[in-house]
Amino acid sequence: MVRKHEDGLGDEALRQATGRGREEWRAHLLETGAREWDHARIARHLVEVEGVDGWWAQGITVDFEQAHQGRLPGQQKDGTFSVSVTRTLPAARLEALDAVTTAVTARHGEPHSANRAARYPVVRWRLDDGTRLSATAQPEKATGTPVSLTRERLPGHPEMEGAREEIVALLEEVAHRVG
């Protein structure tokens, strides 16, 4: 099941990072007239006027849009949908990314791009149905490397669950192989 942004945005963490909780940000943005603003304007306001870090500004913006502008969970600003799942794999960063790349390539063919030297190494595929899939390796933790698989440009909300199920299956397959 695809979750609302608020389900993954901890109110206490938000308050510690920004000085306000979810409901306080929603109320403040309503007072400033943000219901009529687009995504970029809301995020820019949060960064430039309110002094919020860009990462938190994006989260606050998506939460506000879902609560007050009708944005559906997983919906991007262009109207398409995306779904992402992260799994920590018991391997070094590039080894974990390579294992995921092998599994995705076996199912979807060769990637169209890769940047293994990036701050967050990434491999990307353009799929035959017009969607995109990317694998991104996060910084290593004591338990391994979190790797995110993201499917983008899905045409509607109904397609998200099937895409999520495929991503979970791919990550499970890799976890059994490297674990």
Domains, the chain, ordered by start = 5-68 (no CATH), 81-178 (3.30.530.20)
Indicate the pTM of the whole model. 0.71
CB 125 within 8 A of CB 104: yes
Give the pLDDT of residue 75: 83
Give the pLDDT of residue 4: 55
Closest CA to 134 of 108, 160, 154, 152: 152
Give the pLDDT of residue 10: 79
Give the pLDDT of residue 24: 96
Q: What are phi and psi of 114, to 5 degrees?
A: -155, 145
Give the pLDDT of residue 40: 93
CA angle at 5 for the pair 153 and 79, rounded to the nearest 5°? 30
Give the pLDDT of residue 77: 78
Per-run averaged pLDDT (10 residues), the chain, 179 residues: 57 92 96 95 96 91 90 82 94 97 97 96 97 96 96 92 95 93
Give the pLDDT of residue 50: 97
CB 2 within 8 A of CB 74: yes
CB 131 within 8 A of CB 152: yes
In 57-106, at which residue ranges do the beta strands (DSSP E only) sit? 81-89
